[in-house]
Amino acid sequence: MTLDRSTMWPYDEHGEKGEYSYARDRTPTVVAAEDALGELEGGSALLFPSGAGATTALVLSQLRPGDTIALAAGCYYGTGVLFETLERWGLHHVEFDQTGPPPDGVQLVWLEAPSNPFLTMPDLEAAAAHPAPVVVDSTAATPVHLRPLEHGADFVVHSATKYLGGHHDVLLGAVVCRDPAAAEALHLFRTRTGIVAAPDPAWLLLRGLKTLEVRVRRQTESAAVIAERLRSHPAVSVVRHPGIGGMISFDVADEAAARRVETATRLIVNATSLGGTTSTMESRRRWEGDRVPGGLLRLSVGLEDPDAVWADLAQALDTTL
Ligand SMILES: *Cc1c(COP(=O)(O)O)cnc(C)c1O
The answer to pTM > 0.85 is yes
At residue 81, the pLDDT reads 97
Q: 82, 162, 164: which to mutate for ligand 1, most atoms within 8 A of CB?
A: 162
What band does 1 get if pLDDT is binned at 50, 70 and 90? confident
As assigned by CATH, the class of the 28-210 domain is: alpha beta
In three-state secondary structure terms, 240 is strand
Q: Read off the pLDDT of residues 245-284 as tens digits, 9 standing for 90 and up.
A: 999 999 999 999 999 999 999 999 999 999 999 999 999 9
Q: Residue 7 has what pLDDT?
A: 98
- Do 264 and 318 contact (CB within 8 A), yes or no? no
Amino acid at the residue 314 = A
Cα of 261 to ligand 1 centre, how many Å?
24
Please state, in angstroms and as integers, the Cα–Cα distance from residue 260 to each residue in 256, 267, 318, following that order.
6, 15, 10
pLDDT digits (tens, 9 = 90+) for 163-174: 999 999 999 999
Question: Strand, coil or helix: what is 55?
Answer: helix
Residue-wise pLDDT for 177-228, tens only, equals: 999 999 999 999 999 999 999 999 999 999 999 999 999 999 999 999 999 9
Cβ–Cβ < 8 Å for 301, 309? yes
Question: What residue ranges of the chain are covered by domains with CATH 3.40.640.10?
Answer: 28-210
Report the Cα 10 to chain-centroid distance in Å.
Answer: 37
Q: Which of 20, 13, 37, 12 is nearest to 201 (CA)?
A: 37
From ligand 1's centre to the CA of 183, what distance in Å? 21
Q: pLDDT tier at 66 (50, 70, 90 boundaries)?
A: very high
By most ligand atoms within 8 Å of CB, the mutation choice from 75, 116, 170, 299 for ligand 1 is 116
Q: Whose CA is nearest to atom 4 of ligand 1?
A: 51
Q: How far is the CA of 13 from the centre of ligand 1 (A)?
A: 44
**What is the predicted pLDDT for the residue at 75?**
95
139, 142, 175: residue to mutate for ligand 1 pocket, most atoms within 8 A of CB? 139
> How much distance in Å is there from the Cα of 223 to the middle of ligand 1?
20
Distance CA 240, CA 229 (A): 12
Atom number in ligand 1 closest to CA 53: 9
**Ligand 1 pocket list (CB less than 6 A):** 50-52, 76, 78-79, 112, 116, 137, 139-140, 159, 161-162, 171, 173
The CB-side HSE value for 98 (13 A sphere, CA atoms) comes to 28
Measured distance CA(248)–CA(185) in Å, rounded: 37
> Across residues 285-290, what is the average pLDDT?
96
Closest atom of ligand 1 to CA, residue 115: 13
Mean predicted lDDT score pLDDT of the chain: 98
State the architecture of 213-320 in CATH terms. Answer: Alpha-Beta Complex (3.90)
Predicted confidence (pLDDT) per residue in 74-101, tens digit: 999 999 999 999 999 999 999 999 999 9
Report whether pLDDT(106) > 90.
Answer: yes
Residue intervals in the chain for CATH 3.90.1150.10: 213-320
Distance 321 CA to ligand 1 centre (A): 34
What is the reported pLDDT for 113? 98
Contact 249/117 with Cβ under 8 angstroms? yes
Distance 292 CA to ligand 1 centre (A): 18
Percent of the chain with pLDDT over 90: 100
